[in-house]
Amino acid sequence: MDQIGTIQLDPGTGVPLYQQLFDAIAQRIGSGALAHGARLPPTRTLAERLGAHRNTVVRAYRALEEAGFIAGTVGRGTYVQRSRTAPALAAVPAAGTAGIAWGSLMSRQSGAEPLQRAERFAQQLAGPRAIHLSRMQPSEDLLPDQLFRRCLDHVLTTLGPKALNYAPRAGVPRLREQIALDLAHQGVSAAPDDVIVTSGSQQALDLLARLLVNPGDALIVNTATYTGALSAFTLAGARLITVPNDDEGPDLSALERLAQSGAKGVYLMPGCQNPTGLAISTPRRRALIDWSRRCGVPLIEDDYVSDLHLDGEPPPPLRAFDGDVIYVGTYSKKLIPALRVGYVVAPPALRPRLESLKQASDLGGALIQHALAEFLERGYLRAHLERVVPEYRARRAALERALLEHLPPSIRWQRPGSGLLLWIPLPAGIDPLAVFEAAREEGVLVMPSTMTQAGDSAEAGVRLTFCGEPPERLEEGARRLGRALARVLERAGLDRVELGAVSVI
């Protein structure tokens, strides 16, 4: 047997056989198993060994030669052109032996409490068999990998190397056009020039924080809010001021008291607040717009659950009422997390500096933007949503049925009409971290409210998501959470206290 070794081609994977052969040989060259100057078998010989058509081997060899892995000479054969293995490195002294005082060099913001909080939570996650009711990303069976592959292949075929360049500062024009059309479908009027494409909504929040906030400036947030926003605002040096919610949204009397606070903005998630699942009512949305105009404090609308409506028609976004609302969107939750494509729709006065900040932090790649534009142009997003929204509705129902059956009788919650999460308030005196730990010991992961609180008055609870597990695992997760809560309540002496029947509000 020559140096190429055994290669298995599988026609059932959907990957062309010549591509499988290309990948196998390239991997052997890259790992050093096929060294520089090694001779490859003749195409006819290798085809017979693989049980494949000779054209499969010819195409693979041609692609390998074009990529610079091999070189063919008429009459002499085909050889590995060069090894792609890295040269051996000299021994490097162990880190820390040079006496650099790294602790004194790091910025204060890099050790901010919200970041430390997230790090502690990440370190405590359970093993691979745990049931995840904590992560806000779709399970793999709901990701449109084949549809997106078609778009990616089409972009590379039609645009070639042009698709591999940097993107324009505000994003690829055809994608900005499609985002504007997508927003119109949701009731938001925006021209393509109003849209700035970002690396997910997280980068959008980071750019807005750096644009609006000087260290020490006030920014208004809910008493419990998205951990990524807390991190971005804290890193920018914001002084966070909290406002509680009532049943319709941010408490207006509390906002009135903050009218003269000098706040640079109010960060809101009107469609489905993370973590509580609250949707802001239409009258409250209008009142927020009136307050913003009167006080000169802009609203930052994070519409991360756009299109993920499970019950009825949602109220119009805040941006639909007022062009001065700064609107942030993303394709991570409703489509593919790994795309890392989000966007900001900003008033004209902000766009030039936002574009400059975007370019300073991320030059941006065109390939994924072109592929997403192709996906949207073909109507694949609407088809994808027609498939996944009913599935999310079914998963929510499965989780709620199991929670009704297995949670202790002191627990109540409110069904969300949009989004991918359920908020479980805890009885007074129950530590959310204790519930998190007990649940982790049972093999189910939940998000404790200590991760999301921005103020001392935040309601204690745990956040559950139903997008990342199939119905049967959601049901088992609810069973495990029920056991964990029963243990915590028993330790607190609340196991026999009747606090109200289990119910869905």
Radius of gyration of the chain from Cα atoms? 27
Distance CA 497, CA 482 (A): 16
- Strands (E) across 168-262 are located at 195-198, 218-222, 239-243, 245-246, 249-250
Distance CA 124, CA 138 (A): 22
Question: Domain containing 491 — which CATH number?
Answer: 3.90.1150.10
Instruction: Specify whether 179 is located in the same domain as 119.
Output: no
**The pLDDT of residue 495:** 57
What are 213's two structure tokens? Answer: 């906030």
Is residue 239 pLDDT above 80, yes or no? yes
The DSSP output letter for 110 is: G
Instruction: Specify whether 188 is located in the same domain as 233.
Output: yes
Identify the residue with better confidence: 95 or 249.
249
For residue 195, what are the β-bridge partners? 345
Note if the pTM is more than 0.75: yes
**The pLDDT of residue 79:** 85
Domain that holds residue 348: 145-378
Q: How many domains does the chain have?
A: 3
84-131 pLDDT, tens digit per residue, is 454 555 566 666 556 788 778 888 777 777 777 776 666 666 666 899
Lowest mean pLDDT among 15-24, 152-161, 282-291: 15-24
**The pLDDT of residue 91:** 62
Length, in residues, of the chain: 505
Instruction: Specify whether 486 is located in the same domain as 358.
Output: no
Instruction: Specify whether 133 is located in the same domain as 221.
Output: no
Provide CB contacts within 8 A for 496, sequence distance 6+. none
Question: Domain containing 40 — which CATH number?
Answer: 1.10.10.10
What are 98's two structure tokens? Answer: 């040079």
Phi, psi (deg, nearest 5) at residue 293? -65, -40
Q: What is the dihedral of CA 45, 48, 51, 53, to 10 degrees?
A: 80
Name the domain boundary from 378, 402, 429.
378
Instruction: Specify whether 136 is located in the same domain as 161.
Output: no
Name the domain boundary from 356, 378, 400.
378
Distance CA 297, CA 103 (A): 38
**The pLDDT of residue 373:** 97
Q: Are 156 and 163 contacting, i.e. CB atoms less than 8 angstroms apart? A: yes
Q: What angle do CA 160, 165, 166 make, to 5 degrees?
A: 155
Instruction: Look at residues 27, 30, 31, 19 and name the one whose alpha carbon lies nearest to residue 61.
Output: 19
Within-domain flag for 86: no
**The pLDDT of residue 422:** 96
**The pLDDT of residue 38:** 85
**The pLDDT of residue 458:** 76
The letter for the amino acid at 190 is: A
Specify the pairing of strand 412-413 against strand 299-302: unpaired
